[in-house]
Structure 1
Amino acid sequence: MIAVIPLELKNRLKNFITDRSGLYFRDHEIKNLEEAISLRMKIYGFESPVTYYNYLTTGEKKEDEFRELLNILTVNHTYFFRDTAHFNILKNKILPELINKKSANCKNEKPVIKIWSAGCSTGEEPYTIAMLIKELLGSREDIQIKIIATDASLNALEKARKGVYRDSAVKYMNEFYLKNYFTVKNDAAGNEIYEIIDEIKNMVDFSYFNLMDDIYPKEFDMIFCRNVVIYFEFQTIVNVMTKIHSSLLDDAYLFIGYSESLNFMRDKFSMVIDNDALYYKKFNTTKNTVNKTIEKISDSFSKIFNDLNIHPKITDAKPHDKKTYETKENEWSLDFRPKAPEISDTGYYDETRKTSNLSYPIYQNTQEMLGLAKNHIAEKEYNKATNLLEEILKKEKNSVEALPLLVEILINQGKMELARQKLSLLYAINPLFPPAYYFSGCIHVEEGKIDKAKENFRKALYLDKNFLIARIYLAHIYREKGDFNEAIKEYRNTLKVLSLEPAEKIVPYSGGFSVSAIMGICRDNLERLKNTI
């Protein structure tokens, strides 16, 4: 029996899923919320959807449960050679260079290449890596290959070890791999199935591992952790990626999903964009000693500024690139960024900046409060952000910087009527304000009024053709309605605009996603659509 979920609770669940997945504009496709919730309730013996919601959001094993729920709710796009650009760069550049480097540095012993597929699901990813290595090495035995594949789902691991797949997993694969590394059989119903040959199976070691664990395996040359941490809360992502960083050798490679970003770890990884592939390299700790010394000097100067109560001009800018990030007067676009370092020239409140007579923070100006509010929004701390924005609006009731942020929060919290009220204020201030039409479109999407949503996104783009998030939303609508050619056109237009921007710039209204991350999302969708047509 399918549970009946009240509309308000259903909206809270949908908003929770969207917020936690990090996919602000829904890159996942919800099949049937009631059916999925009912299945999970049956497993735990819960009689009320409210009880399950509390378990999902506050329970001791909420991380594991969220992933199990997402596995049901999302359309499974797992297949061999998914995100072709990653495997092209792996085959044509990274693996050959790594093999040559290992061979040159280990003349007296057999070199080892260690690769970890973290969150391997049913095995398509690690088997793809194994096939590429086999293709490159052939019959060579002078290099030892260790591919570790882990997942927190025992059912997924069981399927992975069997290595048996249906045509949906192999339909985009080059005929060469299908012919050389699979055996074609028929199941009991007479349908064709494809089994990985033993030689490739034996190259991969599958085992259970939960990324919430404290101790991680070490000394990897490469880690694939794609489309895994999008299910986690921000602080969990930081913890996981910090441990993954420690699992990599210096100059080693990390592949994450195109919907994911490591902007908050710029001191630990360098981002590489090569043709259509986007991946990361761990900084060499020896080479990075000079940078760390500079950072310490910078911290010392920052402390001096704070001790002397000297505060440089407040901007919403990165210290090294004010032209890109600075908030200009009368400019409507706003940057959402991950939490900034607590140093005095970033424009963000530093806990050390309190007077001896006051117990509450002193903000230098409205821009400082806006910067802190954006930090809270990026980390989903909506109550803290709302308090700051309401303080601003008490002083400047027509603030076209604070109002859009408040509307954004209300939509994320599912408070559509309140969002509409604030939105009406934006229209009254400026009827040609592009974000107002964008937010109207978001509200209509939440209410299932897709045609009205499309109309509002188009209006936003008419007023500003470079309003990227409105364009991406429009592309998603076309994709969902089966108008694949229009969707492709919008994704390509988005890529065209993004190609002119710095890779690490945060895209306005994206929930903290960088230009490079949004480009990856567009490429990922283009790849899927091309395979669909």
Structure 2
Amino acid sequence: MPALARAPQRLDEDDHLTPTDFQRISALIGQEVGIRLPPGKRLMVEGRLRRRLRALGLAGFEAYGDYLFRQNGLEQERPHLINAVTTNKTDFFREPEHFEIMEKTLVPTLLAGRTDRQPLLKVWSAASSTGAEAYSIAMLLADMVTRGRSFRFAVLGTDISTDVLEQGRRAIYPAEQIAPVPPALQSRYLMFSRRPGTRPEVRIVPELRRHVQFQRLNLMDQSYPYDRDVDIIFLRNVLIYFDKADQTKVITRLTAHLRPGGYLLLGHSESMIGTDVAVRQVAPAVFQKL
């Protein structure tokens, strides 16, 4: 690693990436992750990168651009850069209509078509962020089993950001974040920290964590190293960051991992218009593979 300048106590808020360095970062993120970063996103990118400047001990964005592109630091910094600029908005039981239809329609329909005595349902959260979606899925499925449905389940959470995947594996969240979780599920699947003087936190119980695993995946990869008999894939509020061509490629690759009759769930602001994937819409933003 090249020698780095000692950072000041406070970075200059008027300091900015040069247009050339921002364009190079934007092109890199677009090529590797598929996320578009037009010039209007420059201030957002700079805001997220200031922590990296402090961590590296850099005096400003000019030094960061030098480190990335003129001092051969890009290879080492690449995962940190991707972690910093990717969006990781998530909540427990976000867009609750999807969880309701999953419980009342999707899971019963999938189970009705299976002859196994205790079939294994596979659910994939394809942009899992910190894991709130994956654990929401696991809570719902575990609760269905508790109430008498006979099946096993496994949940896979994937994301490109190593930071959020690590939080998912730790399964520790600020207590205020679990407000959308129904009280009965909170009492069954969450452990509440009682340490005095600290910010209240909760942790997913180990019995539920055993059903969920997290792995790094770039949706822009040409293939995904996962099973091709997945029952339900959640891909919500991700496609909005991709251009149309990349949206089609990602949807095509993901649906190839669904079993016939499996379901793909998109965000309510997203659609399959313009794609040639063989699916039928069964509910708002819910599609079944033909």
Structure 1 length as normaliser, TM-score? 0.43
The aligned counterpart of 1:37 is: 49
- Flag the structure with higher strand content: 2
The 1:150–1:187 alpha-carbon spacing in structure 2 relative to 1, beyond 3 Å, is: farther
CA distance in 1, matches of 2:275, 2:90: 27
Please identify, of 148-157 and 125-134, the stretch whose mean Cα deviation from structure 2 is larger: 148-157
The answer on 1:126 being equivalent to 2:137 is no
Alpha-carbon contact 1:187-1:193 (below 8 Å) kept: no
What letter is aligned with 1:269? V
The answer on 1:70 being equivalent to 2:79 is no
Alignment partner for residue 286 of structure 2, among 270, 279, 284? 279
Offset of residue 150 of structure 1: 1.9
Offset of residue 228 of structure 1: 2.9
For the residue of structure 2 that corresponds to 1:5, the secondary structure is: coil
Offset of residue 201 of structure 1: 1.2
The 1:6–1:125 alpha-carbon spacing in structure 2 relative to 1, beyond 3 Å, is: closer
The answer on 1:209 being equivalent to 2:220 is no
Offset of residue 60 of structure 1: 8.9
The 1:114–1:42 alpha-carbon spacing in structure 2 relative to 1, beyond 3 Å, is: same
Offset of residue 88 of structure 1: 1.4
For the residue of structure 2 that corresponds to 1:207, the secondary structure is: strand
Aligned residue pairs, count:
266
| Unmatched segments (≥5 aa) in structure 2 | 1-9
Offset of residue 125 of structure 1: 0.7
CA distance in 1, matches of 2:22, 2:163: 30
The 1:165–1:137 alpha-carbon spacing in structure 2 relative to 1, beyond 3 Å, is: same
Determine which structure has greater relative contact order: mean sequence separation of CA pairs < 8 Å that are 6+ residues apart, divided by chain length. 2
The aligned counterpart of 1:97 is: 109
The 1:257–1:60 alpha-carbon spacing in structure 2 relative to 1, beyond 3 Å, is: farther
What letter is aligned with 1:258? H
CA distance in 2, matches of 1:111, 1:152: 30
The aligned counterpart of 1:395 is: none
For the residue of structure 2 that corresponds to 1:259, the secondary structure is: coil
Alpha-carbon contact 1:112-1:146 (below 8 Å) kept: yes
The answer on 1:175 being equivalent to 2:183 is yes
The aligned counterpart of 2:6 is: none
CA distance in 2, matches of 1:168, 1:250: 39
Alignment partner for residue 80 of structure 1, among 92, 96, 99? 92
| Deviation per residue, 1:358-392 (Å, 9 max, x gap) | xxxxxxxxxxxxxxxxxxxxxxxxxxxxxxxxxxx
Alpha-carbon contact 1:272-1:281 (below 8 Å) kept: yes
Alignment partner for residue 169 of structure 2, among 161, 178, 187? 161
Alpha-carbon contact 2:89-2:129 (below 8 Å) kept: no
CA distance in 1, matches of 2:137, 2:21: 40
Percent identity of equivalent pairs: 26
Alignment partner for residue 150 of structure 1, among 153, 158, 162? 158
For the residue of structure 1 that corresponds to 2:193, the secondary structure is: strand
CA distance in 1, matches of 2:269, 2:211: 29
- Flag the structure with higher helix content: 1
The aligned counterpart of 1:225 is: 235
What letter is aligned with 1:36? R
The 1:120–1:33 alpha-carbon spacing in structure 2 relative to 1, beyond 3 Å, is: closer
RMSD across aligned positions (CA): 3.9
Q: How does 1:246-261 map to 2 (within 5 A)?
A: 246-261=256-271
What letter is aligned with 2:235? C
CA distance in 2, matches of 1:32, 1:177: 36
Which structure has the greater CA radius of gyration? 1
| Deviation per residue, 1:246-297 (Å, 9 max, x gap) | 1111121011223333212244222333xxx421112x2xxxxxxxxxxxxx
Alignment partner for residue 5 of structure 1, among 10, 13, 16? 16
The 1:207–1:7 alpha-carbon spacing in structure 2 relative to 1, beyond 3 Å, is: closer
Structure 2 length as normaliser, TM-score? 0.73
CA distance in 2, matches of 1:187, 1:99: 43
Q: How does 1:332-411 map to 2 (within 5 A)?
A: none
For the residue of structure 1 that corresponds to 2:274, the secondary structure is: helix
| Unmatched segments (≥5 aa) in structure 1 | 285-533
Please identify, of 191-200 and 126-135, the stretch whose mean Cα deviation from structure 2 is larger: 191-200
Alpha-carbon contact 2:233-2:263 (below 8 Å) kept: yes
Alpha-carbon contact 2:126-2:235 (below 8 Å) kept: yes
| Deviation per residue, 1:165-198 (Å, 9 max, x gap) | 1133212222121122112113463332112112
Offset of residue 245 of structure 1: 1.6
Offset of residue 244 of structure 1: 0.6
